[in-house]
A and B are shown apart, each in its own frame.
Chain A
Amino acid sequence: MSVEILRKIPLLLATAAAVAVLTFLLIHLAPGDALDAYLGQEGASSSEKTLIREKLGLDKPVYVRFARYAERLAKGDLGSIPGKGPVAAIIKRRFIATARLALAAILISVTVGVSMGLAAGWHAGTAFDRWAQVALVFLVSTPIFWFGLVVLLIFAWGLNLLPAAGSGGLAHLVLPALTLGLRPAALIARVARANCIEARSELFIIAARARGLSWPAIVFKHILKVISIPIVTIVGMDFASLLSGAVITETVFSYQGLGQFAVEAISNRWYDAVMAVALVWAALFVGANFIVDVSYAALDPRTRSTP
């Protein structure tokens, strides 16, 4: 790992911290009484409210509240949701579900995207390539819930093979992962196609063809190696929108993941939960960026030399 990558770590941590502060300010400056959300349906008399407010520290200014929150956070306490228990346990469960979904979607998008991109790039200029291009623009532009609805309609109800909603086993994962993976698949296919076309005219590929290598051999020995770098970049850069997509996908399929939990938490004003989701989300994003940088160094020998 080069010094430059290590040098980026403080900046990444500062970014994650800034996201936390911003989220805290946003939700705590929001109009509406946090206490009403805390008390739920039952409510309380105004004198009781004053007492609880003092007990919870809600009468203090925002920066004091943030200091208290940071102090709790440093001890590893993410807080709790009234009537639902500690946030940390819920977040952990939801995170595992979303990670499973995101990984399956990435797997689908890389497999579909690379094979589609290579096929189109190899046959660049043909009718197949033109139709593939049209399909790619369509996939990139289509809202995830459109896929979700169509996928639901075709598979779960039309063919009645796979469960339409809920989370759990592998069968529950197929349709959401397919829905979530299609858009990144199109992004990857675009990049794979462009790089494949570029690679086709490279001297080492021409030399390989002249040596009589079959095209599968060329693809597996040379082209995949060349396109791996831009594809890692695309997967890393698209990670944030994959998480956003997960929110919508999870809602479409009633999948009990982090995204659905985020919507629930914000709608119900579970402040601790909103903060925790924002923190996890920012950490994931920052982590993905870091992994992209590290894998550059691993995949591309040109970045290894120190200036």
Chain B
Amino acid sequence: MIGRAWRLVKANKAASASAAFLTLVLVAAVLAPWLAPYDPAGQDLAATREAPSWRHPLGTDSRGADVLSKVIYGARPTLVIAVCVSLSTVVIGFLLGIAAGYTGKWIDAALMRAVDVMLAFPELLLNIILVAVLGAGMTSLFLALTLSGWAGVARIARGLMLSLAGREYVLSARALGAGAAGIVFRHVIPNCASTMIVVAAMRMGTTVLAAAGLSYLGFGGSSDSNSWGVMVSAGQYEIVTAWWWPFFPATAIALTVLSFNLLADAARDLLDPRALARPVGPAAA
């Protein structure tokens, strides 16, 4: 499958550009101390709000810190949050979704009503309240985005479980006396894996976007943290005097989300060829 994925990514220009950009972000995150030309927290009061130049390719902020170095370091919190949140929401949502679909009856009804409420809850408002309750910081950002994100995944997983429950091989496994755990591990997980991978890839993009929005509003972390959203938030009022300060981190967020979305689209095409023929209607959206 990896070979097929590689060929498809190579054939799909958008996907290969996205993969290349995300690799760049990953490299920046891992090798930040070696790649960044300056200390991201460093101050140089002789060189505040300097426009992009050879010395500072992306300019400097109001304290004279190098914007390029800050953007390189900013890849770290962005990727950590994206990976942790999408993994946890997909795992929690998947388990609750198949539990609801498998057991049925009141457990299903209760879980799905909870999902309805979670999906009706204005997500951004919920996130802001959760971060305000939990206190600013990466951990509470992670908890808030996980708590508000599992419901959508659970609904998809339940739908998959319901469609699998009626298939002949699941019915015959049941008839042969297979237990719930056996059916889930042997039939449900292998059959849901590809959809869940696509869902996880899609959640990466939405997570980066949501985390950036929260940071932008001032609920993402302390002002000295390096996340891109915090930088945009700090620099937004200097858009006239130092446009490069908010613009480059905001563009980094935009390109990262775009890359995750394009890769998720490519993954969907790779893993579920039927989606190619399916019209993009309300059901698919």
Chain A residues within 8 Å of B, Cβ to Cβ = 11, 15-16, 18-19, 22-23, 26-27, 29-31, 134, 137-138, 140-146, 149-150, 152-153, 157, 187, 190-191, 193-195, 198, 230, 233-234, 237, 240-241, 243-244, 247-248, 251-252, 262-263, 266-267, 269, 274, 277-278, 281-282, 285-286, 289
The reply to whether B281 and A191 form a contact with Cβ atoms under 8 Å apart is yes
Q: Could you pull out 26 A-B pairs where Cβ atoms are within 8 angstroms?
A: A11-B116, A19-B117, A137-B14, A137-B258, A140-B261, A141-B261, A145-B213, A145-B236, A153-B240, A153-B247, A191-B282, A233-B282, A240-B122, A244-B123, A244-B124, A244-B125, A247-B125, A247-B217, A248-B217, A263-B128, A263-B218, A267-B132, A278-B122, A282-B120, A282-B121, A285-B122
A195 CB contacts on chain B under 8 angstroms: 279, 281
The reply to whether B123 and A26 form a contact with Cβ atoms under 8 Å apart is no
The reply to whether B257 and A142 form a contact with Cβ atoms under 8 Å apart is yes
The reply to whether A267 and B218 form a contact with Cβ atoms under 8 Å apart is yes
Complex Cα gap A254–B212 (Å): 19
Give the 6 A-B CB pairs with smallest separation, nearest first: A244-B124, A141-B258, A194-B280, A30-B133, A233-B282, A18-B117
A193 CB contacts on chain B under 8 angstroms: 280
B257 CB contacts on chain A under 8 angstroms: 141-143
B253 to chain A, nearest CB (A): 5
Contact status of A266 and B281, CB under 8 A, knowing A143-B254, A240-B123:
no
For chain B, which range describes its interface: under 10, 10 to 19, 20 to 34, or 35 or more residues? 35 or more
A243 CB contacts on chain B under 8 angstroms: 122, 124
SS of B interface (majority) = helix
Contact status of A277 and B125, CB under 8 A, knowing A141-B258, A142-B257, A143-B253:
yes
The reply to whether A149 and B247 form a contact with Cβ atoms under 8 Å apart is yes
Judge whether B98 is part of the interface by a CB distance below 8 angstroms. Answer: no
B282 to chain A, nearest CB (A): 4
B216 CB contacts on chain A under 8 angstroms: 143, 145, 248, 251
A21 to chain B, nearest CB (A): 9
B148 to chain A, nearest CB (A): 11
Contact status of A157 and B240, CB under 8 A, knowing A22-B117, A149-B250, A248-B217:
yes
Contact mask for chain B residues 191-225; partner A; CB cutoff 8 A; 1 contact, 0 none: 00000000000000100010011001110000000
Complex Cα gap A26–B123 (Å): 14
Complex Cα gap A193–B125 (Å): 32
Contact status of A237 and B285, CB under 8 A, knowing A153-B239, A247-B217:
yes
9 additional A-B pairs beyond A152-B239, A248-B217, beta carbons within 8 Å, are A11-B116, A137-B261, A149-B232, A149-B236, A191-B285, A244-B213, A247-B124, A281-B122, A281-B125
Q: Which residue of chain A is the closest to B129 with respect to CB atoms?
A: A26
B265 CB contacts on chain A under 8 angstroms: 137
The reply to whether A143 and B212 form a contact with Cβ atoms under 8 Å apart is yes
Q: Which residue of chain A is the closest to B243 with respect to CB atoms?
A: A153
In residues 256-277 of chain B, which contact A (Cβ within 8 Å)?
A: 257-258, 260-262, 265
The reply to whether A141 and B236 form a contact with Cβ atoms under 8 Å apart is no
The reply to whether B261 and A278 form a contact with Cβ atoms under 8 Å apart is no
Q: Which residue of chain B is the closest to A260 with respect to CB atoms?
A: B217
B128 CB contacts on chain A under 8 angstroms: 262-263, 266
The reply to whether A142 and B279 form a contact with Cβ atoms under 8 Å apart is no
Contact status of A263 and B285, CB under 8 A, knowing A19-B120, A30-B132, A190-B280:
no
